Amino acid sequence: MKILKTFVFLFAVLTVTNSFSQQSLFSPLQFTNGKGDTLNYRFLFPDFNPSRKYPLVIFLHGSGEKGNDNVSQLKWGVLNFATDYNLKIYKPFVIAPQCPINQTWSNFKRDLDFAYNDTATKVCDLIFALIDSTIKKFPIDTDRIYITGLSMGGIGTFDFIIRRPNLFAAAAPVCGAGDISKVNVIKHIPMWLFHGAEDPTVDAKYSLAMVNALTKAGAHPGYTQYPTVGHFSWIAAYSDPMFMDWLFSQNKANNKK
């Protein structure tokens, strides 16, 4: 029993240490758009060669991680992109912005089941400006820009790809929702949706409705619904190596063929 307790303790220490180590790989930065608006974000730099091109991942956190500490957005999911394996094999740049307390990623008509609103939120505009700036400063493969997010970030993922449908090579909304009337705008984007069947916060029916609408429009979305999972479907989604393989294999140049 003593040996078992020692093992459990050491395992816990190693897990926490590894988590802090991964967090330290994300540089705390702030983006300013020149109009007085600022955005806190974390930026993961891979071991890059300026003469090569690398993928860029945009990660949108959930509502529980809003704030201005520029730390909370690292709580769920995004650290999986900074594992030794992913940094060795895929070498992604990753932008993990933090949404301010009184703002949200997406703008939709809440009384109409996530109906799209033409006006983007301020934080959405800032993120697009940050993406454009990052493309200019770093060797980003513009055929391999991906977006994913969980809960509020899953809803934001749909909002962002509708606003810039030609920017992203793939999208992975986790326990999200979107405007199914806009599927013709985004049906060309490879997608893999994730949801928990017992989600009490964002009903799985929203992901199912989007999958059905995309399929009817001629798209081929992936969909994983975890049968006994509630709102925390992102734990399984981002730890799935098949998901990482799928995401980083998507390329707009190939999608056009």
Q: What are the angstrom distances between the C-alpha of 101 and each of 6, 38, 48, 98, 198?
A: 41, 14, 34, 9, 27
What is the Cα–Cα distance from 180 to 210, expressed in whole angstroms? 6
Q: How would residue 109 be classed by pLDDT, with cut points 50, 70 and 90?
A: confident
- Is the pLDDT assigned to residue 10 strictly greater than 70? no
Residue range 209-257, pLDDT digits in tens: 999 999 999 999 999 999 999 999 999 999 999 999 999 999 998 866 5
Residue 22 lies in a domain: no
**CATH number for the domain that contains residue 85:** 3.40.50.1820
Using the predicted structure, report yes or no on whether residue 12 has a pLDDT greater than 80: no
Pairing state between β 54-60 and 140-150: parallel
CB 192 within 8 A of CB 172: yes
Number of domains present in the structure of the chain:
1
What single letter denotes the amino acid at residue 131? I
What pLDDT, on a 0 to 100 scale, did the predictor assign at position 97?
Answer: 98
Domain holding 59, by residue range, is 27-255
Residue 225 belongs to a domain: yes
- Decide if 234 contacts 76 (C-beta within 8 A): yes
Whole-model pTM: value is: 0.89
Where helices occur in 52-151 by DSSP H, the ranges are: 84-89, 122-137
Is 9 part of a structural domain of the chain? no
Q: Do residues 115 and 178 touch, judged by C-beta distance below 8 A?
A: no
pLDDT band at 11 (very low <50, low <70, confident <90, very high): very low
The model's pLDDT over 127-171, given as tens digits with 9 standing for 90+, comes to: 999 999 999 999 999 999 999 999 999 999 999 999 999 999 999
Tell me the C-alpha distance between 204 and 226, whole Å.
10
In a domain, 21, yes or no: no
User: What is the structure's pLDDT at 194?
Assistant: 98
pLDDT interval class at 113 (50, 70, 90): confident
| Domain presence at residue 5 | no
Report DSSP state, residue 189. Answer: S
The phi and psi torsions of 20 (rounded to 5 degrees) equal -65, -35
In a domain, 176, yes or no: yes
CB atoms near residue 54 (< 10 Å) = 18
Measured distance CA(238)–CA(19) in Å, rounded: 15
Residue located via tokens 């992109």: 81
Does residue 15 belong to any structural domain of this protein?
no
Pick from 139, 131, 171, 130: nearest CA to 153: 171
Does residue 178 lie in a domain region?
Answer: yes
**Residue found by looking up tokens 């992901």 in the block:** 207
